[in-house]
């Protein structure tokens, strides 16, 4: 099969690595598996490697591209494949909730939600993930390619060396499903690390037990701020040892041993205090 992308040099300061391996592209499109009526939104389409196959499969989609040098070539090349709505903006400034509300279509379960896709720049992956979390009720699912190490952190459980703030914050609000690994050679220029594709599915509101998102974020941030500290010390600005014990958490434990549910229970107790 021929490549659908166009040639534009990658910009190192924007963390650009353009995907070119057709077998990987096909696996991503298959993983997304767009259905009629889906509102697909791609973050950072780059040279259109994923965009155009998805557009051919689905007919229309929205893309968010920050690099102004890619905007005109994307718009021009997309005409042969389908209807492309192009937003030239920093994705961290895009309000996904508003974007979803602008879609007049309705799905079987009510107002239409977004399906996010993207090969995320490594230097912005965590901020983009946290930004998407802020708009989780407006998002149906997310299929992202990230540094493999980041995907491992996202999916890690307590006791793992890579279990941390990202793991807890994401798993409290989403199901995290690693899909497959992508080698460096699938990109131009080739990064120095492996990548991986992951699916995030926001939990229904009825399943999210966090009472106060701000308190939860603060507890998790402080708990993992200095990993070698015990929670008694790491959380001293938020609560005392008695509050930890009341939530069933040993004050002498370290954050990496504590399950997501315990952090939720502690933050809820502090929010109610």
Phi first, then psi: give them for residue 41, nearest 5 degrees: -130, 115
> Residue 198's closest CA among 162, 145, 247?
145
- Alpha-carbon distance of 172 to 174, in angstroms, equals 6
Co-location of 113 and 219 in the same domain: no
Under 8 Å between Cβ of 165 and 221 = yes
Which residues are CB-neighbours of 191 under 8 A, at least 6 positions away? 17, 122, 147, 184
Judge whether 17 and 189 are in contact, CB under 8 Å: yes
Q: Are residues 180 and 228 in the same domain?
A: no
**Domain match, 86 and 194 both:** yes
Q: What percent of the chain has pLDDT above 90?
A: 81
Give the pLDDT score at 104.
Answer: 60
Residue 257 has pLDDT above 70, yes or no: yes
- Domain-located, residue 4: no
Per-residue pLDDT at 268 exceeds 70: yes
Question: Is the pLDDT score of 14 beyond 50?
Answer: no
Query: Which tokens is 120 given?
Result: 């995320």
pLDDT, residue 48, reads 92
- Considering the domain architecture, whether residues 201 and 227 belong to the same structural domain is answered as no
Is 90 annotated to bind a ligand? Reply is yes
* Mean pLDDT, the chain, whole residue set: 91
Backbone angles phi and psi of 125, in degrees to 5: -60, -45
Does 5 fall in a domain?
no
Mean pLDDT of 37-56: 94
- Annotated ligand binding at 233? The verdict is no
Q: Alpha-carbon torsion 48, 49, 54, 59, what sign?
A: positive
30 plus 154 within the same structural domain: yes
Q: Does residue 92 lie in a domain region? A: yes
Q: What is the mean pLDDT of residues 168-191?
A: 94
Could you say which of 173, 207, 241 is where a domain stops? 207
- The answer on whether 19 is annotated among ligand-binding residues is yes
Q: Is 119 annotated as a binding residue?
A: yes
pLDDT (mean) for 116-142: 94
pLDDT at 105: 57
43 belongs to a structural domain: yes
Residue at 67 is within a domain: yes
Stated length of the chain: 273
84: left (phi over 0), alpha (psi -120 to 50) or beta: beta
CATH number at residue 267: 1.10.8.100
Calculate mean pLDDT across residues 80-85: 95
53 lies in which domain range? 12-207
- Is the pLDDT at 3 greater than 60? The verdict is no
Q: Is the pLDDT assigned to residue 10 strictly greater than 50?
A: no
Per the domain annotation, does 47 fall within a domain?
A: yes
Q: Last residue of a domain, which of 176, 207, 238?
A: 207
Q: Are residues 151 and 200 in the same domain?
A: yes
Looking at the structure, do residues 119 and 180 belong to the same domain, yes or no?
yes
Same domain, 99 and 223: no
Same domain, 237 and 116: no
Tell me: the pLDDT tens digits for 235-248?
Answer: 999 999 999 999 99
Residue 177 is encoded by which pair of tokens?
């499903």
**Alpha carbon distance 226, 271 (integer Å):** 23
123 and 233 fall within a common domain: no
pLDDT of residue 261: 97
Same domain, 155 and 260: no
- Total domains present in the chain: 2
Q: At 62, is the pLDDT very low, low, confident or very high (cuts 50, 70, 90)? A: very high
Q: Model confidence at 18, in pLDDT bands (50, 70, 90)?
A: confident
**Same domain for 99 and 167?**
yes
Contacts of 177 (CB under 8 A, 6+ apart): 155, 198, 199, 200, 201
Point out the domain boundary residue: 186, 207, 228.
207
Q: Residue 252: inside a domain, yes or no?
A: yes
Specify the CATH number for the domain of residue 111. 3.40.50.150
Judge whether 244 lies within some domain: yes
44 carries a ligand binding annotation? yes
């Amino acid at each position: 099969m021929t490549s659908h992308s166009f040639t534009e040099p990658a910009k190192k300061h924007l963390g650009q690595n353009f995907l070119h391996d057709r077998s990987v592209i096909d696996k991503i499109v298959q993983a997304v598996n767009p259905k009629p009526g889906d509102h697909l939104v791609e973050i950072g389409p780059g040279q259109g490697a994923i965009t155009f196959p998805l557009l051919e499969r689905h007919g229309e989609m929205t893309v968010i591209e920050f690099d102004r040098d890619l905007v005109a070539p994307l718009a021009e090349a997309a005409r042969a494949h389908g209807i492309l709505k192009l937003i030239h903006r920093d994705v961290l400034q895009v309000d996904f909730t508003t974007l979803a509300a602008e879609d007049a279509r309705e799905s079987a379960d009510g107002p239409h939600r977004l399906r996010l896709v993207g090969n995320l720049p490594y230097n912005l992956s965590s901020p983009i993930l946290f930004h998407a979390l802020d708009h989780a009720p407006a998002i149906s699912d997310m299929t992202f390619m990230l540094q493999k190490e980041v995907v491992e952190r996202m999916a890690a459980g307590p006791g793992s060396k890579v279990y941390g703030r990202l793991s807890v914050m994401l798993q409290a609000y989403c199901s995290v499903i690693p899909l497959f690994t992508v080698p460096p050679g699938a990109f131009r220029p080739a990064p120095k690390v492996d990548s991986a594709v992951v699916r995030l599915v926001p939990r229904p509101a009825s399943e999210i037990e966090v009472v106060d998102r701000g308190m939860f974020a603060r507890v998790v941030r402080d708990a993992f701020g200095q990993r070698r500290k015990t929670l008694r010390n790491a959380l001293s600005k938020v609560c005392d040892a008695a509050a930890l014990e009341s939530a069933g958490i040993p004050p002498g434990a370290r954050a990496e041993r504590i399950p997501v549910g315990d952090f939720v229970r502690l933050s809820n107790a502090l929010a109610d205090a």
